[in-house]
Amino acid sequence: MDIVNQLQRQFIDHSTSLHREGIVDDQFTELQKLQDENSPDFVVEVVSLFFEDSEKLLNNMARALEQAQGVDFKQVDASVHQLKGSSSSIGAMRVKNACIAFRSFCEAQNREGCLRCLQKVTHEYSLLKNKLQSLFRLEQQILAAGGSIPVAK
């Protein structure tokens, strides 16, 4: 019982800090609410898909910005737009905001600005990924210890 309580408290703390630091917003809570006994792995599935997609998109952006013969800003923008859409849909607020800033530099065709934004988006993405993976690990530990996962308010 002690272990479960401890883990549950850690889970709540972790969840709260994710929201407080603006790493995720209400959309993520909505996502968690969609999970139920019929789809117990829904959040992990959606987030895993998001990780896969995001890494592809970040690679696309990096490659497009590396082109010595001239950057195709439309292509960069298309990838940023997609990342903005998916991050918004799962509630990854800081990634989404980094994408919004990124798009202005694409529009201005400013390579230096774009490279800085790519760095920022990559940083926010890595932060999100680490934090969510920790959250999922805590969930697994709680379940393994026979406890239940505290419900998001």
Partner 1 sequence: MVLGNGASSSSLNMKSGEDKVNSNKNLSVLVVDDDPLIRMLHDMHLKKFGLNPQVVEDGKKAVDLFRIGASFDLILMDKEMPVMNGVEATKELRDMGINSMIVGVTSRGLEIEMQDFMESGLDFCFEKPLTPDMITFLLNELNKKNDDDNND
Residues that bind partner 1 (CB under 8 A): 27, 30-31, 34, 39, 42, 45-46, 49-50, 53, 81-82, 84-86, 88-90
12 vs 101, beta carbon nearer partner 1: 101
3 vs 49, beta carbon nearer partner 1: 49
As measured in angstroms, the least distance from the Cβ of 123 to partner 1 is 22
As measured in angstroms, the least distance from the Cβ of 74 to partner 1 is 13
How far is residue 142 CA from its own chain's centroid?
Answer: 23
How far is residue 61 CA from its own chain's centroid?
Answer: 17
103 vs 131, beta carbon nearer partner 1: 103
10 vs 89, beta carbon nearer partner 1: 89
Rounded-to-integer distance, Cα 145 and Cα 124, Å: 32
Q: How many residues does the chain have?
A: 153
As measured in angstroms, the least distance from the Cβ of 100 to partner 1 is 11
Contacts 24+ apart (CB under 8 A), 134-139: 134/14, 135/11, 135/14, 135/15, 135/18, 136/44, 136/47, 138/7, 138/10, 138/11, 138/14, 139/11
As measured in angstroms, the least distance from the Cβ of 19 to partner 1 is 17
